[in-house]
Structure 1
Amino acid sequence: MDTPDGGVASAFRAPRPGAGPVRKLYQVKGRRNIRASERDVAWGSFNTGDCFILDLGQTLFVWCGARSNVLERGRAQELAAAIRDGERGGKAGLEIVVDGEEPPEMLQVLGPKPTLQEGSPEEDAVADQRNAGAAVLYKVSDATGRMDLSPVATSSPFSQSLLCPDDCFVLDHSAGGKVYVWKGRKANEQERQAALRVAEEAIARMGHPPHTQVEILPQGRETPLFKQFFSNWK
Protein backbone atom coordinates (compact mmCIF):
# COMPACT_ATOMS: atom_id res chain seq x y z
CA MET A 1 0.00 0.00 0.00
CA ASP A 2 1.38 3.39 -0.97
CA THR A 3 0.54 5.98 1.67
CA PRO A 4 2.03 9.48 1.25
CA ASP A 5 3.98 11.05 4.09
CA GLY A 6 1.54 12.66 6.47
CA GLY A 7 -1.28 10.47 5.15
CA VAL A 8 -3.61 8.09 6.91
CA ALA A 9 -4.92 4.78 5.64
CA SER A 10 -6.50 1.61 6.90
CA ALA A 11 -3.88 -0.96 7.73
CA PHE A 12 -5.25 -3.18 4.98
CA ARG A 13 -7.00 -0.84 2.55
CA ALA A 14 -5.70 2.14 0.62
CA PRO A 15 -7.38 5.49 1.37
CA ARG A 16 -10.11 6.58 -0.97
CA PRO A 17 -9.21 9.56 -3.16
CA GLY A 18 -11.27 12.69 -2.78
CA ALA A 19 -12.28 12.02 0.81
CA GLY A 20 -15.09 14.20 2.15
CA PRO A 21 -14.89 17.06 4.65
CA VAL A 22 -13.32 16.60 8.08
CA ARG A 23 -15.67 14.97 10.59
CA LYS A 24 -13.95 13.37 13.58
CA LEU A 25 -14.68 12.79 17.24
CA TYR A 26 -12.07 12.39 19.98
CA GLN A 27 -12.70 11.21 23.54
CA VAL A 28 -10.44 12.84 26.16
CA LYS A 29 -10.23 10.70 29.29
CA GLY A 30 -8.07 10.34 32.41
CA ARG A 31 -6.68 12.36 35.28
CA ARG A 32 -2.91 11.98 35.52
CA ASN A 33 -2.36 10.20 32.22
CA ILE A 34 -4.96 11.79 29.95
CA ARG A 35 -5.28 10.50 26.40
CA ALA A 36 -7.41 11.39 23.40
CA SER A 37 -8.70 8.55 21.22
CA GLU A 38 -10.75 8.72 18.05
CA ARG A 39 -14.34 7.48 18.34
CA ASP A 40 -17.33 7.04 16.05
CA VAL A 41 -19.05 10.35 15.32
CA ALA A 42 -22.28 9.57 17.17
CA TRP A 43 -23.96 10.34 20.48
CA GLY A 44 -23.41 6.70 21.42
CA SER A 45 -19.70 7.48 21.84
CA PHE A 46 -20.39 10.17 24.47
CA ASN A 47 -20.74 9.90 28.24
CA THR A 48 -21.17 12.49 30.98
CA GLY A 49 -17.81 11.77 32.65
CA ASP A 50 -15.42 12.75 29.85
CA CYS A 51 -14.68 15.52 27.38
CA PHE A 52 -15.01 15.17 23.62
CA ILE A 53 -13.68 17.12 20.65
CA LEU A 54 -15.95 17.22 17.62
CA ASP A 55 -13.74 18.26 14.70
CA LEU A 56 -15.73 19.56 11.73
CA GLY A 57 -12.77 21.10 9.94
CA GLN A 58 -13.74 24.76 10.04
CA THR A 59 -14.91 24.50 13.65
CA LEU A 60 -13.78 22.41 16.62
CA PHE A 61 -16.30 21.91 19.43
CA VAL A 62 -14.94 20.97 22.87
CA TRP A 63 -17.85 19.30 24.67
CA CYS A 64 -17.43 18.88 28.44
CA GLY A 65 -19.52 16.26 30.19
CA ALA A 66 -21.25 17.35 33.39
CA ARG A 67 -19.08 14.95 35.43
CA SER A 68 -15.79 15.47 33.58
CA ASN A 69 -12.84 16.60 35.68
CA VAL A 70 -11.06 19.92 35.35
CA LEU A 71 -7.89 18.28 34.00
CA GLU A 72 -9.81 16.63 31.17
CA ARG A 73 -11.41 19.96 30.33
CA GLY A 74 -8.08 21.74 30.22
CA ARG A 75 -6.43 18.99 28.17
CA ALA A 76 -9.31 18.89 25.68
CA GLN A 77 -9.05 22.64 25.13
CA GLU A 78 -5.26 22.40 24.70
CA LEU A 79 -5.57 19.59 22.19
CA ALA A 80 -8.30 21.32 20.19
CA ALA A 81 -6.19 24.49 20.08
CA ALA A 82 -3.18 22.46 18.91
CA ILE A 83 -5.25 20.90 16.11
CA ARG A 84 -6.52 24.34 15.11
CA ASP A 85 -3.06 25.93 15.10
CA GLY A 86 -1.04 22.99 13.77
CA GLU A 87 -3.40 21.50 11.20
CA ARG A 88 -5.70 24.42 10.24
CA GLY A 89 -3.21 27.27 10.29
CA GLY A 90 -5.02 28.88 13.21
CA LYS A 91 -8.04 29.64 11.02
CA ALA A 92 -10.60 27.19 12.42
CA GLY A 93 -13.10 28.25 15.06
CA LEU A 94 -12.97 26.74 18.55
CA GLU A 95 -16.05 26.60 20.76
CA ILE A 96 -16.41 25.29 24.32
CA VAL A 97 -19.73 23.50 24.80
CA VAL A 98 -21.33 22.78 28.16
CA ASP A 99 -23.31 19.57 28.55
CA GLY A 100 -26.93 20.48 27.84
CA GLU A 101 -26.14 23.60 25.80
CA GLU A 102 -25.23 22.01 22.45
CA PRO A 103 -25.34 24.42 19.48
CA PRO A 104 -27.35 23.65 16.32
CA GLU A 105 -24.15 22.85 14.38
CA MET A 106 -23.42 19.92 16.70
CA LEU A 107 -26.99 18.64 16.62
CA GLN A 108 -27.03 18.83 12.84
CA VAL A 109 -24.13 16.36 12.72
CA LEU A 110 -25.00 14.16 15.71
CA GLY A 111 -28.78 14.33 15.61
CA PRO A 112 -31.11 14.82 18.59
CA LYS A 113 -29.31 14.32 21.89
CA PRO A 114 -30.41 11.18 23.77
CA THR A 115 -29.86 10.37 27.44
CA LEU A 116 -26.13 9.78 27.70
CA GLN A 117 -24.28 7.08 29.58
CA GLU A 118 -23.19 8.26 33.02
CA GLY A 119 -19.50 8.65 33.82
CA SER A 120 -17.76 8.47 37.19
CA PRO A 121 -14.48 9.72 38.73
CA GLU A 122 -13.49 6.12 39.48
CA GLU A 123 -13.30 5.44 35.75
CA ASP A 124 -10.57 8.08 35.36
CA ALA A 125 -8.22 6.24 37.75
CA VAL A 126 -8.73 3.03 35.77
CA ALA A 127 -8.18 4.95 32.54
CA ASP A 128 -4.85 6.33 33.84
CA GLN A 129 -3.50 2.81 34.29
CA ARG A 130 -4.90 1.63 30.98
CA ASN A 131 -3.59 4.67 29.09
CA ALA A 132 -0.04 4.17 30.36
CA GLY A 133 0.16 0.69 28.86
CA ALA A 134 -2.01 1.30 25.80
CA ALA A 135 0.87 2.50 23.61
CA VAL A 136 4.15 0.80 22.72
CA LEU A 137 7.08 2.40 20.92
CA TYR A 138 9.11 0.27 18.50
CA LYS A 139 12.22 0.93 16.44
CA VAL A 140 12.42 -0.30 12.85
CA SER A 141 15.54 -2.46 12.95
CA ASP A 142 17.39 -5.10 10.93
CA ALA A 143 19.22 -6.49 13.97
CA THR A 144 17.80 -9.95 13.26
CA GLY A 145 18.96 -9.91 9.64
CA ARG A 146 15.62 -8.67 8.31
CA MET A 147 13.62 -5.52 8.87
CA ASP A 148 11.42 -5.91 11.93
CA LEU A 149 10.24 -4.04 15.03
CA SER A 150 12.29 -3.91 18.24
CA PRO A 151 10.53 -2.69 21.42
CA VAL A 152 11.92 0.58 22.79
CA ALA A 153 9.39 1.52 25.52
CA THR A 154 6.17 -0.08 26.73
CA SER A 155 4.74 2.58 29.04
CA SER A 156 3.82 6.14 28.08
CA PRO A 157 4.40 9.01 28.25
CA PHE A 158 7.65 8.36 26.40
CA SER A 159 10.72 10.57 26.31
CA GLN A 160 11.01 12.51 23.07
CA SER A 161 14.75 11.78 23.10
CA LEU A 162 13.95 8.17 22.16
CA LEU A 163 13.06 9.33 18.64
CA CYS A 164 16.49 9.30 16.99
CA PRO A 165 16.60 11.23 13.67
CA ASP A 166 18.74 8.44 12.18
CA ASP A 167 15.97 5.86 12.52
CA CYS A 168 12.30 5.11 11.91
CA PHE A 169 9.87 4.22 14.71
CA VAL A 170 6.40 2.75 15.06
CA LEU A 171 4.07 3.86 17.85
CA ASP A 172 1.38 1.25 18.33
CA HIS A 173 -1.82 2.67 19.82
CA SER A 174 -4.12 -0.01 18.50
CA ALA A 175 -6.38 0.49 21.54
CA GLY A 176 -7.24 3.83 19.96
CA GLY A 177 -7.45 2.34 16.47
CA LYS A 178 -4.23 3.88 15.17
CA VAL A 179 -0.58 3.05 14.51
CA TYR A 180 1.92 5.83 13.77
CA VAL A 181 5.02 5.45 11.59
CA TRP A 182 7.59 8.15 12.43
CA LYS A 183 10.39 8.71 9.93
CA GLY A 184 13.55 10.42 11.17
CA ARG A 185 14.92 12.98 8.74
CA LYS A 186 18.32 11.22 8.65
CA ALA A 187 16.98 7.66 8.32
CA ASN A 188 18.35 5.78 5.33
CA GLU A 189 16.13 5.12 2.33
CA GLN A 190 15.91 1.39 3.04
CA GLU A 191 14.46 1.99 6.50
CA ARG A 192 12.10 4.71 5.29
CA GLN A 193 10.69 2.45 2.59
CA ALA A 194 10.46 -0.58 4.87
CA ALA A 195 8.82 1.20 7.83
CA LEU A 196 5.24 1.09 6.54
CA ARG A 197 5.52 -2.52 5.34
CA VAL A 198 6.98 -3.63 8.67
CA ALA A 199 4.21 -1.81 10.56
CA GLU A 200 1.50 -3.47 8.45
CA GLU A 201 3.05 -6.91 8.95
CA ALA A 202 3.20 -6.33 12.70
CA ILE A 203 -0.45 -5.21 12.79
CA ALA A 204 -1.51 -8.42 11.08
CA ARG A 205 0.75 -10.54 13.31
CA MET A 206 -0.54 -8.92 16.51
CA GLY A 207 -4.15 -9.48 15.52
CA HIS A 208 -5.15 -5.82 15.45
CA PRO A 209 -8.58 -5.05 13.92
CA PRO A 210 -8.69 -4.59 10.12
CA HIS A 211 -9.91 -1.00 10.54
CA THR A 212 -6.69 -0.01 12.35
CA GLN A 213 -5.30 3.12 10.69
CA VAL A 214 -1.66 3.75 9.85
CA GLU A 215 -0.48 7.36 9.86
CA ILE A 216 2.87 8.35 8.32
CA LEU A 217 4.65 11.18 10.14
CA PRO A 218 7.93 12.60 8.84
CA GLN A 219 10.05 14.23 11.54
CA GLY A 220 8.88 17.81 12.03
CA ARG A 221 5.30 17.09 10.92
CA GLU A 222 4.04 15.35 14.05
CA THR A 223 0.36 15.80 14.91
CA PRO A 224 -1.03 16.78 18.34
CA LEU A 225 -2.46 13.27 18.76
CA PHE A 226 1.02 11.78 18.26
CA LYS A 227 2.72 14.28 20.56
CA GLN A 228 0.35 13.44 23.43
CA PHE A 229 2.25 10.18 24.00
CA PHE A 230 5.46 12.06 24.87
CA SER A 231 6.32 14.10 27.94
CA ASN A 232 7.26 17.75 27.46
CA TRP A 233 7.32 17.67 23.66
CA LYS A 234 9.51 20.44 22.24
Structure 2
Amino acid sequence: QEGGVASAFKPTRANPGPGPVPKLYQVKGRRKIRASEREPSWSSFNTGDCFLLDLGQTLFVWCGARSNVLERSRAQELAAAIRDSERAGTVRLEIVVDGEEPPEMVQVLGTKPPLKEGNPEEDVVADESNAGAAVLYKARMWQDTMVSDATGRMDLTQVAAGSPFSQSLLCPDDCFVLDNGAGGKVYVWKGRKANEQERQAALRVAEEVIARMGHPPQTQVEILPQGRETPLFKQFFSSWK
Protein backbone atom coordinates (compact mmCIF):
# COMPACT_ATOMS: atom_id res chain seq x y z
CA GLN A 1 0.00 0.00 0.00
CA GLU A 2 2.17 2.82 -1.28
CA GLY A 3 2.02 6.08 0.58
CA GLY A 4 -0.29 4.56 3.16
CA VAL A 5 -0.42 2.57 6.35
CA ALA A 6 -1.26 -1.06 6.89
CA SER A 7 -0.81 -3.68 9.55
CA ALA A 8 2.32 -5.61 8.70
CA PHE A 9 0.55 -8.94 8.42
CA LYS A 10 -3.02 -7.81 7.78
CA PRO A 11 -3.13 -4.98 5.22
CA THR A 12 -5.99 -2.63 5.92
CA ARG A 13 -9.07 -2.61 3.74
CA ALA A 14 -11.03 0.39 2.60
CA ASN A 15 -13.10 1.90 5.38
CA PRO A 16 -16.69 0.74 4.86
CA GLY A 17 -18.15 3.62 6.87
CA PRO A 18 -19.35 6.99 5.58
CA GLY A 19 -16.20 8.87 6.54
CA PRO A 20 -12.50 8.51 7.37
CA VAL A 21 -11.37 6.65 10.47
CA PRO A 22 -10.36 9.13 13.21
CA LYS A 23 -6.65 9.16 14.07
CA LEU A 24 -5.00 10.54 17.18
CA TYR A 25 -1.34 11.54 17.55
CA GLN A 26 0.41 12.39 20.81
CA VAL A 27 3.07 15.11 20.52
CA LYS A 28 5.57 14.80 23.35
CA GLY A 29 9.06 15.97 24.28
CA ARG A 30 11.09 19.10 24.89
CA ARG A 31 14.11 19.09 22.58
CA LYS A 32 13.44 15.94 20.54
CA ILE A 33 9.69 16.11 20.10
CA ARG A 34 7.95 13.24 18.32
CA ALA A 35 4.39 12.49 17.29
CA SER A 36 3.16 8.93 17.87
CA GLU A 37 -0.18 7.44 16.92
CA ARG A 38 -2.48 6.57 19.82
CA GLU A 39 -5.91 5.05 20.29
CA PRO A 40 -8.50 7.79 19.54
CA SER A 41 -9.93 7.85 23.05
CA TRP A 42 -9.85 10.22 26.01
CA SER A 43 -7.88 7.53 27.86
CA SER A 44 -4.92 8.36 25.59
CA PHE A 45 -4.88 12.01 26.66
CA ASN A 46 -3.07 13.71 29.53
CA THR A 47 -2.74 17.33 30.58
CA GLY A 48 1.01 17.51 29.94
CA ASP A 49 1.14 16.93 26.17
CA CYS A 50 -0.46 18.04 22.92
CA PHE A 51 -2.63 15.83 20.75
CA LEU A 52 -3.63 16.00 17.11
CA LEU A 53 -7.05 14.55 16.30
CA ASP A 54 -7.40 13.92 12.57
CA LEU A 55 -11.02 13.63 11.44
CA GLY A 56 -10.28 13.84 7.74
CA GLN A 57 -11.86 17.19 6.94
CA THR A 58 -10.90 18.74 10.28
CA LEU A 59 -7.62 18.66 12.21
CA PHE A 60 -7.93 19.49 15.91
CA VAL A 61 -4.79 20.43 17.84
CA TRP A 62 -5.59 19.95 21.53
CA CYS A 63 -3.09 21.39 24.00
CA GLY A 64 -2.99 20.15 27.57
CA ALA A 65 -2.91 22.77 30.30
CA ARG A 66 0.61 21.66 31.31
CA SER A 67 2.03 21.12 27.82
CA ASN A 68 5.16 23.09 26.97
CA VAL A 69 5.38 25.79 24.33
CA LEU A 70 7.57 23.67 22.04
CA GLU A 71 5.04 20.84 22.02
CA ARG A 72 2.31 23.31 21.14
CA SER A 73 4.35 24.76 18.31
CA ARG A 74 5.33 21.32 16.97
CA ALA A 75 1.74 20.05 17.08
CA GLN A 76 0.55 23.05 15.07
CA GLU A 77 3.39 22.61 12.57
CA LEU A 78 2.52 18.94 12.12
CA ALA A 79 -1.17 19.68 11.60
CA ALA A 80 -0.33 22.39 9.06
CA ALA A 81 2.02 20.02 7.21
CA ILE A 82 -0.67 17.33 7.00
CA ARG A 83 -3.19 19.91 5.80
CA ASP A 84 -0.91 21.35 3.14
CA SER A 85 1.01 18.29 1.89
CA GLU A 86 -1.60 15.54 2.22
CA ARG A 87 -4.92 17.41 1.93
CA ALA A 88 -3.97 20.16 -0.56
CA GLY A 89 -4.79 22.83 2.02
CA THR A 90 -8.51 22.06 1.83
CA VAL A 91 -9.20 20.94 5.42
CA ARG A 92 -9.89 22.99 8.53
CA LEU A 93 -7.28 23.30 11.29
CA GLU A 94 -8.53 24.27 14.73
CA ILE A 95 -6.56 24.89 17.93
CA VAL A 96 -8.39 23.59 21.02
CA VAL A 97 -7.70 24.72 24.58
CA ASP A 98 -8.02 22.16 27.36
CA GLY A 99 -11.53 22.56 28.75
CA GLU A 100 -12.97 24.18 25.61
CA GLU A 101 -13.48 21.10 23.43
CA PRO A 102 -15.91 21.65 20.52
CA PRO A 103 -18.93 19.38 19.99
CA GLU A 104 -17.27 17.69 17.01
CA MET A 105 -14.48 16.37 19.25
CA VAL A 106 -16.93 15.24 21.92
CA GLN A 107 -19.02 13.45 19.30
CA VAL A 108 -16.00 11.33 18.32
CA LEU A 109 -14.34 10.86 21.72
CA GLY A 110 -17.37 10.93 24.00
CA THR A 111 -17.86 12.93 27.18
CA LYS A 112 -14.54 14.13 28.51
CA PRO A 113 -13.59 12.46 31.82
CA PRO A 114 -10.94 13.71 34.27
CA LEU A 115 -7.62 13.33 32.47
CA LYS A 116 -4.30 12.00 33.69
CA GLU A 117 -2.09 14.77 35.02
CA GLY A 118 0.99 15.54 32.97
CA ASN A 119 4.44 15.85 34.52
CA PRO A 120 6.97 18.20 32.85
CA GLU A 121 9.78 15.87 33.93
CA GLU A 122 8.35 13.23 31.61
CA ASP A 123 9.33 15.40 28.64
CA VAL A 124 13.02 15.07 29.57
CA VAL A 125 12.67 11.29 29.71
CA ALA A 126 10.76 11.38 26.41
CA ASP A 127 13.65 13.21 24.72
CA GLU A 128 15.97 10.32 25.55
CA SER A 129 13.54 7.62 24.48
CA ASN A 130 12.51 9.50 21.32
CA ALA A 131 16.12 9.73 20.15
CA GLY A 132 16.73 6.01 20.54
CA ALA A 133 13.33 4.81 19.37
CA ALA A 134 14.20 4.96 15.65
CA VAL A 135 16.90 3.13 13.69
CA LEU A 136 17.63 3.55 9.98
CA TYR A 137 18.63 0.55 7.85
CA LYS A 138 19.53 0.06 4.21
CA ALA A 139 17.75 -2.94 2.72
CA ARG A 140 19.25 -4.98 -0.11
CA MET A 141 17.60 -7.91 -1.82
CA TRP A 142 19.81 -10.66 -3.22
CA GLN A 143 18.07 -12.87 -5.76
CA ASP A 144 18.91 -16.52 -6.24
CA THR A 145 18.56 -17.03 -9.98
CA MET A 146 17.53 -20.64 -9.37
CA VAL A 147 14.43 -19.73 -7.38
CA SER A 148 11.38 -17.53 -7.84
CA ASP A 149 11.25 -13.81 -7.10
CA ALA A 150 9.44 -14.49 -3.83
CA THR A 151 12.40 -16.19 -2.18
CA GLY A 152 15.24 -13.70 -2.53
CA ARG A 153 17.47 -13.03 0.48
CA MET A 154 17.32 -9.70 2.27
CA ASP A 155 20.25 -8.03 4.01
CA LEU A 156 19.77 -5.16 6.45
CA THR A 157 22.66 -2.80 7.14
CA GLN A 158 22.31 -0.31 9.97
CA VAL A 159 22.94 3.19 8.68
CA ALA A 160 22.24 5.23 11.81
CA ALA A 161 20.98 4.58 15.32
CA GLY A 162 19.14 7.42 16.98
CA SER A 163 17.25 10.23 15.33
CA PRO A 164 17.22 12.88 14.04
CA PHE A 165 18.84 11.52 10.89
CA SER A 166 20.32 13.41 7.96
CA GLN A 167 18.23 13.31 4.79
CA SER A 168 21.45 12.79 2.83
CA LEU A 169 21.57 9.22 4.17
CA LEU A 170 18.64 8.30 1.92
CA CYS A 171 20.26 7.31 -1.38
CA PRO A 172 17.92 7.17 -4.41
CA ASP A 173 19.65 3.96 -5.55
CA ASP A 174 18.44 1.97 -2.55
CA CYS A 175 15.53 1.16 -0.27
CA PHE A 176 15.67 2.02 3.43
CA VAL A 177 13.78 0.91 6.51
CA LEU A 178 13.12 3.35 9.34
CA ASP A 179 12.30 1.16 12.30
CA ASN A 180 10.15 2.99 14.83
CA GLY A 181 8.62 -0.20 16.14
CA ALA A 182 8.72 1.24 19.66
CA GLY A 183 6.25 3.82 18.38
CA GLY A 184 4.14 1.20 16.62
CA LYS A 185 5.29 1.85 13.05
CA VAL A 186 7.90 0.76 10.50
CA TYR A 187 8.53 2.87 7.39
CA VAL A 188 9.92 1.60 4.08
CA TRP A 189 11.39 4.33 1.87
CA LYS A 190 11.84 3.36 -1.77
CA GLY A 191 14.46 5.31 -3.73
CA ARG A 192 13.36 6.13 -7.25
CA LYS A 193 16.48 4.45 -8.70
CA ALA A 194 16.27 1.28 -6.58
CA ASN A 195 16.04 -1.92 -8.59
CA GLU A 196 12.57 -3.25 -9.31
CA GLN A 197 13.11 -6.33 -7.16
CA GLU A 198 13.76 -4.21 -4.07
CA ARG A 199 10.87 -1.86 -4.80
CA GLN A 200 8.38 -4.70 -5.20
CA ALA A 201 9.55 -6.41 -2.01
CA ALA A 202 8.85 -3.39 0.22
CA LEU A 203 6.06 -4.92 2.30
CA ARG A 204 7.96 -8.18 2.67
CA VAL A 205 11.01 -6.23 3.87
CA ALA A 206 8.92 -4.51 6.54
CA GLU A 207 7.37 -7.79 7.67
CA GLU A 208 10.81 -9.32 8.07
CA VAL A 209 12.04 -6.33 10.08
CA ILE A 210 9.05 -6.63 12.41
CA ALA A 211 9.71 -10.34 12.88
CA ARG A 212 13.46 -9.91 13.40
CA MET A 213 13.06 -7.12 15.93
CA GLY A 214 10.28 -8.84 17.84
CA HIS A 215 7.75 -6.05 17.31
CA PRO A 216 4.05 -6.84 17.88
CA PRO A 217 2.27 -8.23 14.80
CA GLN A 218 -0.11 -5.24 14.82
CA THR A 219 2.82 -2.90 14.10
CA GLN A 220 1.86 -0.66 11.20
CA VAL A 221 3.79 -0.39 7.95
CA GLU A 222 4.01 2.74 5.85
CA ILE A 223 5.50 2.39 2.37
CA LEU A 224 6.82 5.64 0.94
CA PRO A 225 8.14 6.06 -2.60
CA GLN A 226 10.72 8.83 -2.87
CA GLY A 227 8.95 12.17 -3.22
CA ARG A 228 5.83 11.06 -1.33
CA GLU A 229 7.16 11.24 2.22
CA THR A 230 4.65 12.12 4.95
CA PRO A 231 5.12 14.68 7.74
CA LEU A 232 5.25 11.84 10.29
CA PHE A 233 8.19 10.29 8.41
CA LYS A 234 9.99 13.61 7.97
CA GLN A 235 9.89 14.30 11.72
CA PHE A 236 12.73 11.79 12.19
CA PHE A 237 15.12 13.94 10.13
CA SER A 238 16.98 17.05 11.25
CA SER A 239 15.82 18.94 8.17
CA TRP A 240 14.01 18.10 4.97
CA LYS A 241 14.37 19.70 1.55
Give the alignment's TM-score, normalised by structure 2: 0.92
1:162 paired with 2:196, answer no
Match of 1:147 in 2: 154
Q: Deviations over 1:7-58 (max 9, x none)?
A: 3210111221345414100000000000000000000000000000000000
CA distance in 1 between partners of 2:192 and 2:181 (Å): 25
Report if aligned partners of 1:43, 1:113 keep a CA contact under 8 Å in 2: yes
Partner amino acid, structure 2, of 1:151: Q
CA distance in 1 between partners of 2:53 and 2:15 (Å): 21
Match of 1:64 in 2: 63
3-state SS in 1 of match to 2:137: strand
- What is the alpha-carbon root mean square deviation over aligned residues? 1.5
Match of 2:194 in 1: 187
CA distance in 2 between partners of 1:88 and 1:59 (Å): 10
Partner amino acid, structure 1, of 2:6: A
Q: What is the number of equivalent residue pairs in this alignment?
A: 231
The gaps in structure 1 that reach 5 residues or longer are none
1:89 paired with 2:88, answer yes
Partner amino acid, structure 2, of 1:165: P
1:218 paired with 2:225, answer yes
1:51 paired with 2:58, answer no
Q: Deviations over 1:155-207 (max 9, x none)?
A: 10000000000000011111111111100001111111223212211211221
3-state SS in 2 of match to 1:147: strand
The gaps in structure 2 that reach 5 residues or longer are 145-152
User: 1:116-135 alignment to 2 at 5 Å?
Assistant: 116-135=115-134
3-state SS in 2 of match to 1:225: helix
3-state SS in 1 of match to 2:52: strand
Report if aligned partners of 2:27, 2:50 keep a CA contact under 8 Å in 1: yes
Report if aligned partners of 2:82, 2:231 keep a CA contact under 8 Å in 1: yes
Percent identity (aligned) = 81
Deviation at 1:141, TM superposition (A): 2.1
Deviation at 1:147, TM superposition (A): 1.7
1:9 paired with 2:16, answer no
Deviation at 1:142, TM superposition (A): 4.7
Report if aligned partners of 2:202, 2:223 keep a CA contact under 8 Å in 1: no
1:23 paired with 2:22, answer yes
* Counterpart pick for 1:199 among 197, 206, 210: 206
CA distance in 1 between partners of 2:194 and 2:163 (Å): 24
Match of 2:180 in 1: 173
CA distance in 1 between partners of 2:46 and 2:119 (Å): 10
Match of 1:102 in 2: 101
